[in-house]
Amino acid sequence: MKINLMHGAGGAVFSELLGSTLTKYVHNNAGGIGLESLDDGAVIPIGDQNIVFTTDSHIVQPLFFPGGDIGRIAVCGTINDLAMMGGRPIALSCGMLIEEGFDVEVLERIVSSMDAALGECGASLVTGDTKVLERGALDGIAINTAGIGVVEKPVRDNGLLVGDQIIVNGTIGDHGMAIMTYREGFDLGEQIKSDVAPLWSLVDSAMNAGTIHAMKDPTRGGFANAINEMAEKSGVQVRISEEDLPIRKSVRSASELLGLNPLDMANEGKVVMGVAPEDAEEILKAMRLNPYGKDAVIVGRVVEGDSVIMETTIGGERFIEAPVGDPVPRVC
């Protein structure tokens, strides 16, 4: 078997690769803190606290796009992986692979954007590494960020319980569609732009408002992939209301034009939460006070069974299936 682009897209093909390679070895399954949980990060108990550790690599094309750039994604992607487990971000590392001939002015813009994103969540860049490859060996720049955070009681993506309400903090599909339309040369102004944002402050306020049983950020593979992972790992069925799903008209129209499903599109500033039903309204209130949660809404509920079911606007039902891969490669 040869590696292809689908293996890096975060869908079913990627999961098969993980199962056949990385997760089968003894030291990649470290007694409940390693890769076997396939969560957004690892939880490492230290005394009365838990360290959350995660890492991510970023190969965005183009480097700058409506609403963001590779530097902002590099920081936000790692911050959000920590936040999805309830971890307060503390420190990040940064490894850069840079192609010979890359403009220093462009690098300065990227690093400045990273600094601004770090400032939003109170974390710092504390260590890093830089390698320069010969011209033609790399498409400009690739960035790896790793992060650590602290949490008393971690939140997992497999904790959905029957009765839970499913919340998302805003419109879905924005990031993937912003990248796709920009690549294709569509000039849509501010109608479609990336949602890339660091979500720690939003998640922190939500956790202080009520009980969150499970969280996940719908990046590669989008909402469809995230909600299917959460349902399958939790052993429950999730029922989603099509009428309540927040999708911008511009994103929906562009998706129809390009033959894409907005539920499969990557997001970089969204969280999917399963929350205790008695706390759902208080959590919504808290989220809506945050600029990254002003459009937060309940989109579904958890029941007994399996799979993810869409309750359609015309009164029918259909499965929401996890995508085989990301329909738009190199978006994060």
Percentage of the chain modeled with pLDDT above 70: 87
Where along the chain do its domains lie? 1-38, 43-151, 165-319
Within 13 A of 143's CA, how many CA atoms are on the CB side?
Answer: 24
> Is 240 a residue whose pLDDT tops 60?
yes
**Cis before 329 (ω within 30):** no
Digit-coded pLDDT (tens) for 51-92: 999 999 999 999 999 999 999 999 999 999 999 999 999 999
The single-letter DSSP state of residue 189 is T
Rounded Cα–Cα distance for residues 127 and 143 (Å): 13
Backbone angles phi, psi at 24, to 5 degrees: -85, -10
CA dihedral 179, 183, 189, 193 (to 10 degrees): 0
pLDDT band at residue 37 using 50, 70 and 90 as cut-offs: low
pLDDT band at residue 329 using 50, 70 and 90 as cut-offs: confident
CB 56 within 8 A of CB 193: no
> Is 16 a residue whose pLDDT tops 70?
no
**Crossing angle for the helix pair 70-83 and 104-121, nearest 10 degrees?**
30
Average pLDDT over residues 244-268: 93
The partner residues of 142 in beta bridges, in order of sequence, read: 97
> Is 19 a residue whose pLDDT tops 70?
no
**Mean pLDDT of all residues in the chain?**
90
CA dihedral 76, 82, 84, 87 (to 10 degrees): -130
CATH no. of 43-151: 3.30.1330.10
Rounded Cα–Cα distance for residues 237 and 228 (Å): 9
Average pLDDT over residues 267-293: 98
Average pLDDT over residues 248-255: 92
> Is 38 a residue whose pLDDT tops 90?
no
The DSSP element (H or E) to which 225 belongs, if any, is: helix 222-234
Average pLDDT over residues 146-167: 96
Sign of the Cα torsion 204, 210, 213, 217 reads: negative
Distances (CA, A) of 195 to 119, 165, 184: 17, 23, 19
pLDDT band at residue 262 using 50, 70 and 90 as cut-offs: very high
pTM value surpassing 0.85? yes
Domain range 165-319, CATH class: alpha beta
Rounded Cα–Cα distance for residues 218 and 264 (Å): 9
- DSSP for 148-172? EEEESS--BTT---TTPEEEESS-S
